[in-house]
Each structure stands twice: as structure tokens, then as C-alpha cells.
């Protein structure tokens, strides 16, 4: 029998990850613990032993940051206990001085752009004037002085050139289409429209450095999104790249011209394709280094050095500095070196055919000692406009190590597989999207992987909703379920979205129904698990962050109350200092310890004893014990 991998090695703080290189190539940054809390660290590239923390947060942690082009400042965003009202901060790497560049209560700020030309300022989106819409401001990095660039009259966002001039805006229309609007002096005029069936797959991406060409992902007239180039003067459109099975994924741009030089496509696995011959040797070299589904995470301004990250099923976030001139890799280590030599299980991509003929790209991880059918945990991703992909997955490894097969399924509505697949999920929440999950379980049973009497379903956000809906719609199919921040009532979900999601309301209505229409309200009630809680037979664990702005605490409260009225057992865990997911390591470990005990009780897998570190320091409240 394989050794148990400690939960802390899988879900505790990583040693270091999120490496970035400064534009001038002189410094590295990364995220690592400081007094047990994740913070940003930095060091000269030629003296990593001189690393020091740039931030010293002692509560929630910080992991989103960027180097400014001025060679002096590092920028990062942080919210309070998961409320997603992020502020933007600047740290002077020379003096250590920290400044809140958005010191306004109750706002949500985000970096819009950093420029090689306007090096002393950063573009910031701030919703202080109207909480629904973010205006664009230019902020001086040294002084914090702020000036308005453009007021937002109701747009979803803006497209801005390197000189911080606003060129286009994005607008979502009531019918679900999206529109690119050109700025003409003080006026705006419609310039390009993506119909409703294309809007979630297509869109403008970036301008070239001269602001004479626009690059788009465009699925009009085809199923998958192609990479296109539009000449702004003539309107001539040219397809640069396309793939029959998947949308164009990441695009690598020339650091000076912003023209695409390479792109990735991810169907079951990721592949890179070179557009510019100058980069052919780079990709050829990196493909021979055993990096799995690797990606470039950061590049210097002269493009001489890259940070590349290996993404393989049994290699854990290994980063390296790639020197393009020397064609060499300098390892920066693994995010979790304690897993080196651990009994990690391989992940196998599989294509599962749905009952109505769709290909569901899925990923299966089985216990290393699996023989014949055994317990299975079906993992449902959030979004639903997201996707699962190949690579190291801590939850897959945890489950496989405890004796369960783990299966992740890209059900209809998942992104990356073309507009037909994505749009096939509209009005199908809790119906054909749930059918896809059932079909995946049936496949696992037919393949001799799963014991049909020992199948669990687990997910967060939309995956939490899918868990609740599956237990109400197929009460005999699952032995238990775990719902993390999943909506239970689609009406209250839509009516309480964060104000700055207003621009995407039409797309939500297109997907799940408009609660302000009789037809839409009927659909919403039919697809809301809170109204069918009395059908649940399997044990259920519900987990909620009290400060979640997307799926409010009331969603879980409603579901628990409905189950209590029916006398149905449910366990409810509440985390007062979390939002849409669990960030603090003490809370993550406490949750996974409880989840592991829950699964072992109902599926019969192995269970590691709860360690002292997993029972102390957490804010977890057991609101109800089922």
C-alpha cells in the first residue's frame, strides 16, 4: 500500500511560486510564506540568497503582483477577508515604502495597464463614482496623484494603447451580443459586433504598438475562435491562426510591436504553435526539456530572459529562468519540494461521449494500486465558463492517494472547445449540463473504474451548484456530496451579483433565465436546488465563506434551512474570514481534514488523522453537524 501524503504537503502553503522577472531583468519576484502567511518576496537575479519580503501581511496573504516599468516599484492588489474590494498598492523596492494608490473605502480597483512608454504611471480601474462601472484613472507611481482618463457610462471595459489613449470600449447588449465601440473625440460609435452566439468566445484582445492594427479572437462564421488581425485604416481582416477542435488559447506577443509570435491550443493537452520564425528555436528547445504543458509566465523588456513554468501531472509548479541567447534553463525549484519522491499518480486525459453526441474532454486520476472498480469522486469545476486541463492537481492527488479515482469533466458550457459546445449549456443548468456529469459517471462504471454504489460529487461555485442539483435530480446516484460556495437559488444569485458585474447581467440571463420575466422565473425555479431539497438522500457537506460577494452566504443558509425543514441531515461549515473560496492555509487544511473524514465515512477510503495544525488557527464554525 502506498504511503499517505500529508494533507499539509498538498494544501498547506507552497514553498514559493508565482515567479516574475522585472522588465529590466535585474530582479525576481515570487510568492512565499512570511511568518506563515503568503507574501511577495524579491531578490536581485544574481543573488537570490538576498531575498527579502516586499510585503508583510499577517492575515490573509497576497499573491497578485506586477513589476512596474520604472525599475523601482512593485504593484499588488489585496482585499479584506475575501470581499473582493481590492485596493492597489505600490511598494518602492529601494526604500520599502508602501502606498495605497486607491485609498477609497468600499471600492474595487484593478490594474488596467502598464506601459513601456508611460513608465511613471499606472492605469487603474476604480468604481468610486458608480459601484457598477469602473472609470479609468492614471496614477503617478511615486506620488499617488490620480487623474481621470475616461468616465465609464456603462461599458464592460476599455481598450487602451501604450500611450494610455482610450481607443475602444466594450459594451454588452441586452440580447447577449457584445459590441466594440470606437472612440471618436468625445463621441463613441459602434465599430464591431459579436452576435450572442459568439460573444462569450469572441472579443478584441489588444492593439499593436503603433495602434494601427487590432487583434481579436473571432468565432464568427466558424465554430472555434480564430486569432485575427484587423487593419484599423482599411478594415481588412486576416486570420492568423485557427484550430478545428479548440479555441485559440494563450497568445505570446512581440515585446516591442505587440504582434503575435506564437499561440497555444488546448484540447486534451496544450500545444504551442510558432507564427514568427525568430522564435522557432526557442519553442523547439523548450519542448525537449520535459516540462509537460509548460507556459511562459514572465519576460524581460528586451525579451532575453523568460520565466517558464512546467505544468505536468506529477511535477509541481517547477519554474525556471530561460536564457534565450544561451538556450539554457536555470531552475528556480518546485512550489512544493516536500512532494518530491511522494507517490503521485498520473493523470490520464480521456474523451467521454455524451448521450447526445458531444465530446467531453475529461481527466482521470486513479490510485496507484487500483485494481478493478473502486470509489470515485466526480469533481465539477466552477464558472461554469471555465475548464479543467492537464497538469498537477492537488485535489486529484489527494483523492487518488486516499484510494479514490478522481474524475474532472469539461461538461457543456466549459470554455475552449468552440461556441457550439459553450452555448449548448444555455438554459441547461441542472439539466443537460447535469446529464453530462451523469454520462461521465456511467463511462467510469463501464470502464471498470468506478463502483456505482460508491460515487461522490464535489465542486465549488458552479461546481457547488452542480453538486446540489445532482443530489436532488439523481438522489440514488451518489453516495455523498460536497458543495463549496455553491448557489442554491438562481433567482437570489442573479439579483445579488456584485454591482460591478452589471455589464454581464445579460449573459447571465441568457444562460439561466431572466427573473423579471414569467418564462425566465419559471425556468429559474425549476433549476434551483433549494426548491427540491426534500429529494436529497445522500449525506451532504456544505461549505461557505461569510464574505463571498458572488455567491452570498444566504445561498447556503437557504439550502440548509430547506433541508432542516424536511428533516434531512446536512453538515454546514462557515468560515467568517473567507469569501469565494478558502485562502487562509489554516482554513484550507481544516476544510480538507473535514472533507477527508466525510469521504472516508461514506466511500470507505483512507483517512489521515487530523493534525494539531489543522485544528488550530482556523476560523471554521460548525453551524450544523449532520
Catalytic residue among 461, 483, 528, 602: 461
pTM of the model: 0.95
Residues 180 and 168 sit within 8 Å (Cβ to Cβ): yes
DSSP characters over 435-470: HHHHHHHHHHHHTT-EEEEEEEEEEETHHHHHHHHH
Catalytic residue among 548, 556, 577, 602: 548
**Phi and psi angles of residue 12, each rounded to the nearest 5 degrees, phi first:** -75, -175
**Phi and psi angles of residue 520, each rounded to the nearest 5 degrees, phi first:** -65, -40
Q: Return the C-alpha torsion angle 249, 410, 481, 583, nearest 10.
A: 0
Cβ burial 121-156 (10 Å sphere, 16+ → b, else e): bbbbbbbeeeeebbbbbbbebeeeebeebbebeebb
Q: What is the 3-state secondary structure (H, E, C) of 234-296?
A: CCCEEEEECCCCCCEEEEEECCCCCCEEEEEEECCCEEEEECCHHHHHHHHHHHCCCCECCEE
Residue 626, pLDDT above cutoff 90 = no
- CA-based nearest residue to 352, from 363, 341, 342: 363
Q: Give me the pLDDT at residue 317, please.
A: 84
Q: What is the tens place of the pLDDT at every residue in 93-106?
A: 999 999 999 999 99
Q: What is the tens place of the pLDDT at every residue in 371-394?
A: 999 999 999 999 999 999 999 999
Section 57-83 average pLDDT: 92
588 band by pLDDT with thresholds 50, 70 and 90? very high
Rounded to an integer, what is the distance from CA 308 to the centroid of its chain? 19
Q: What is the tens place of the pLDDT at every residue in 430-484?
A: 999 999 999 999 999 999 999 999 999 999 999 999 999 999 999 999 999 999 9
Q: Give me the pLDDT at residue 403, please.
A: 98
Rounded to an integer, what is the distance from CA 559 to the centroid of its chain? 26
Residues 306 and 321 sit within 8 Å (Cβ to Cβ): yes
Q: What is the 3-state secondary structure (H, E, C) of 126-151?
A: EEEEECCEEEEEEEECCCCCEEEEEC
- Judging by DSSP bridges, how do beta strands 305-309 and 295-299 pair with one another? antiparallel
- C-alpha cell of 374? 473502486
Neighbours of 239 (CB within 10 A): 11
- CA-based nearest residue to 201, from 353, 413, 446, 441: 413
Cβ burial 574-608 (10 Å sphere, 16+ → b, else e): bbebbbbbbbbbbbbbbbbbbbbebbbebbebebb
Q: Give me the pLDDT at residue 500, please.
A: 82
The strand pairing partners of 147, in sequence order, are 138
The verdict on whether 548 is a catalytic residue reads yes
- CA-based nearest residue to 456, from 597, 599, 347: 599
Q: Give me the pLDDT at residue 497, please.
A: 87
Q: What is the tens place of the pLDDT at every residue in 180-207?
A: 999 988 899 999 999 999 999 999 999 9
Q: What is the tens place of the pLDDT at every residue in 96-152?
A: 999 999 999 999 999 999 999 999 999 999 999 999 999 999 999 999 999 999 999
610 band by pLDDT with thresholds 50, 70 and 90? confident
Q: At what angle do helices 462-473 and 432-446 cross, to 10 degrees?
A: 80
Section 574-586 average pLDDT: 94
Domains of the chain: 16-153 (2.120.10.30), 345-488+527-601+609-622 (3.40.50.1820)
CA 271/CA 416 separation, integer angstroms: 13
CA 420/CA 374 separation, integer angstroms: 34
The strand pairing partners of 376, in sequence order, are 405, 455
Residues 558 and 492 sit within 8 Å (Cβ to Cβ): yes
Q: Give me the pLDDT at residue 344, please.
A: 97
Give burial (CB, 10 Å; 0-12/13-18/19+) of 96. exposed
CA 518/CA 530 separation, integer angstroms: 19
The verdict on whether 516 is a catalytic residue reads no
CA 360/CA 408 separation, integer angstroms: 10
Residue 613, pLDDT above cutoff 80 = no
Q: Give me the pLDDT at residue 257, please.
A: 96
For 82: left if phi > 0, alpha if psi spans -120 to 50, otherwise beta; the answer is left
**pLDDT > 90: percent of the chain:** 92
The verdict on whether 461 is a catalytic residue reads yes
CA 608/CA 11 separation, integer angstroms: 14
162 band by pLDDT with thresholds 50, 70 and 90? very high
DSSP characters over 196-214: HHHHTT-EEEEE-TTS-EE
Amino acid at each position: 500500500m502506498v504511503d499517505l501524503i500529508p494533507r499539509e504537503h498538498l494544501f498547506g502553503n507552497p514553498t514559493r511560486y508565482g515567479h516574475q522577472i522585472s522588465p529590466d531583468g535585474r530582479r525576481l519576484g515570487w510568492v512565499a510564506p512570511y511568518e506563515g502567511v503568503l507574501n511577495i518576496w524579491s531578490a536581485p537575479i544574481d543573488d537570490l540568497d538576498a531575498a527579502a519580503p516586499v510585503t508583510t501581511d499577517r492575515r490573509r496573504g497576497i499573491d497578485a503582483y506586477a513589476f512596474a516599468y520604472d525599475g523601482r516599484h512593485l504593484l499588488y492588489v489585496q482585499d479584506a477577508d475575501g470581499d473582493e474590494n481590492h485596493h492597489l498598492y505600490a511598494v518602492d523596492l529601494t526604500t520599502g515604502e508602501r502606498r495605497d494608490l486607491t485609498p477609497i473605502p468600499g471600492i474595487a480597483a484593478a490594474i488596467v495597464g502598464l506601459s513601456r512608454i508611460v513608465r511613471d504611471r499606472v492605469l487603474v480601474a476604480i468604481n468610486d463614482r458608480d459601484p457598477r462601472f469602473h472609470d479609468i484613472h492614471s496614477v503617478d507611481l511615486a506620488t499617488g496623484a490620480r487623474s481621470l482618463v475616461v468616465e465609464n457610462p456603462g461599458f464592460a471595459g476599455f481598450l487602451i494603447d501604450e500611450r494610455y489613449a482610450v481607443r475602444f470600449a466594450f459594451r454588452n447588449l441586452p440580447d447577449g451580443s457584445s459590441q466594440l465601440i470606437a472612440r471618436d473625440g468625445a463621441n463613441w460609435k459602434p465599430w464591431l459586433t459579436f452576435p450572442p452566439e459568439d460573444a462569450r468566445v469572441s472579443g478584441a484582445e489588444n492593439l499593436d504598438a503603433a495602434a494601427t492594427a487590432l487583434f481579436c479572437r473571432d468565432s464568427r462564421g466558424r465554430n472555434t475562435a480564430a486569432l485575427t488581425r484587423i487593419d484599423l485604416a482599411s478594415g481588412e481582416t486576416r486570420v492568423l491562426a485557427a484550430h478545428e477542435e479548440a479555441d485559440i488559447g494563450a497568445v505570446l506577443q512581440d515585446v516591442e510591436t505587440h504582434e503575435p509570435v506564437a499561440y497555444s491550443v488546448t484540447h486534451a493537452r496544450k500545444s504551442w504553435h510558432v507564427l514568427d520564425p525568430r522564435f522557432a528555436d526557442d519553442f523547439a528547445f523548450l519542448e525537449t526539456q520535459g516540462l509537460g504543458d509548460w507556459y511562459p509566465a514572465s519576460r524581460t523588456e528586451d525579451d532575453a530572459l523568460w520565466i517558464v513554468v512546467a505544468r505536468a501531472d506529477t511535477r509541481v509548479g517547477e519554474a525556471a529562468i530561460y536564457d534565450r541567447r544561451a538556450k539554457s534553463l536555470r531552475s528556480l525549484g518546485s512550489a512544493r519540494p516536500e512532494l518530491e519522491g511522494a507517490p503521485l499518480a498520473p493523470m490520464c486525459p480521456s474523451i467521454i461521449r455524451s448521450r447526445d453526441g458531444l465530446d467531453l474532454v475529461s481527466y482521470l486520476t486513479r490510485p496507484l494500486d487500483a485494481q478493478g472498480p473502486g470509489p470515485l469522486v466526480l469533481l465539477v469545476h466552477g464558472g461554469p465558463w471555465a475548464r479543467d486541463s492537464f497538469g498537477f492537481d492537488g485535489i486529484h492527488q489527494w483523492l487518488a492517494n486516499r484510494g479514490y479515482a478522481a474524475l474532472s469533466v469539461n461538461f457543456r458550457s466549459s470554455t475552449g472547445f468552440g461556441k457550439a459546445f459553450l452555448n449548448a449549456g444555455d438554459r441547461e443548468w441542472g439539466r443537460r449540463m447535469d446529464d453530462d456529469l451523469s454520462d461521465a459517471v456511467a463511462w467510469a462504471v463501464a470502464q471498470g473504474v468506478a463502483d456505482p454504489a460508491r460515487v461522490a460529487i464535489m465542486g465549488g461555485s458552479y461546481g457547488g451548484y452542480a453538486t446540489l442539483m445532482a443530489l436532488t435530480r439523481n438522489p440514488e446516484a451518489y453516495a455523498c456530496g460536497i458543495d463549496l460556495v455553491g448557489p442554491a437559488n438562481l433567482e437570489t444569485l442573479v439579483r445579488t451579483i456584485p454591482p460591478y458585474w452589471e455589464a454581464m447581467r445579460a449573459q447571465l440571463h441568457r444562460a439561466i433565465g431572466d427573473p423579471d420575466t414569467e418564462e425566465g422565473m419559471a425556468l429559474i425555479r425549476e433549476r434551483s436546488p433549494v426548491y427540491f431539497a426534500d429529494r436529497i438522500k445522500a449525506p451532504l457537506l456544505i461549505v461557505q465563506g461569510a464574505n463571498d460577494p458572488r455567491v452570498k452566504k444566504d445561498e447556503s443558509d437557504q439550502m440548509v434551512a430547506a433541508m432542516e425543514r424536511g428533516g434531512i441531515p446536512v453538515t454546514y461549515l462557515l468560515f467568517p474570514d473567507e469569501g469565494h473560496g478558502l485562502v487562509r492555509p489554516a482554513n484550507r487544511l481544516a476544510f480538507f481534514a473535514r472533507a477527508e473524514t466525510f469521504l472516508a465515512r461514506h466511500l470507505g477510503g483512507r483517512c489521515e488523522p487530523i493534525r494539531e495544525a489543522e485544528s488550530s488557527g482556523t476560523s471554521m464554525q460548525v453551524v450544523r453537524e449532520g
